[in-house]
Amino acid sequence: MKKKRDRLGVIFDILKIVRDNHNSIKPTPLLRYSNLSSQSFSEYYRELRSKGFVKEMADKKGKRFITLTDRGFRFLEKYRLILGFIDEFEL
């Protein structure tokens, strides 16, 4: 059975989806790929924006898309180390 993702795992997955889509994805496909309920996704998305991991942009036609900030890239870069640290000290 697949282990349930924890909070950090979900954040990592969402950010990775954005990065893997050339750092530009619309909210609806992001919700679909993230495998979350729309309510959970909204909560995580709000958290990601408030923490400055992602930002919302609009193109010339006014369509919204999501991109990673430097902080979001930094989180992805550090994720393995963060998990290792948490595991090392049973935090």
Partner 1 sequence: MPMHRFFDPMMFVPEVTYTLIVVVLCLIIYLKTREIYDLTKHRGIYYFRNTFLFFGLAYVFRFFFYLFHLTQMALQLDIPRRVIGPASLVLTGYLSTMAILYLVYSSLWKRLGDKKFLILSNLAAAIISVIALMTKSPYIITIAQAVLLAAALITGYFLYKKSKKFYELLVLYLLLSIFWITSLLNLGQRVFMPFELRLGMQLISIVVFIIIYLKVAKWAK
**Interface residues toward partner 1, by CB under 8 A:** 8, 51, 71, 74-75, 78, 81-82, 84-91
CB of 90 to partner 1, least distance (A): 5
The three-class DSSP label of residue 3 is: coil
- Which CB, 65 or 73, lies closer to partner 1? 73
- Which CB, 29 or 84, lies closer to partner 1? 84
Q: Hey, which residues does 65 pair with through a beta bridge?
A: 57
CB of 11 to partner 1, least distance (A): 8
Buried-exposed string 11-23: b where 16+ CB fall within 10 A, e elsewhere: bbebbbbbbebee
Which secondary-structure segment (H or E) carries 67? strand 64-68
- Which CB, 59 or 87, lies closer to partner 1? 87
CB of 85 to partner 1, least distance (A): 4
Q: Hey, which residues does 66 pair with through a beta bridge?
A: 25, 56
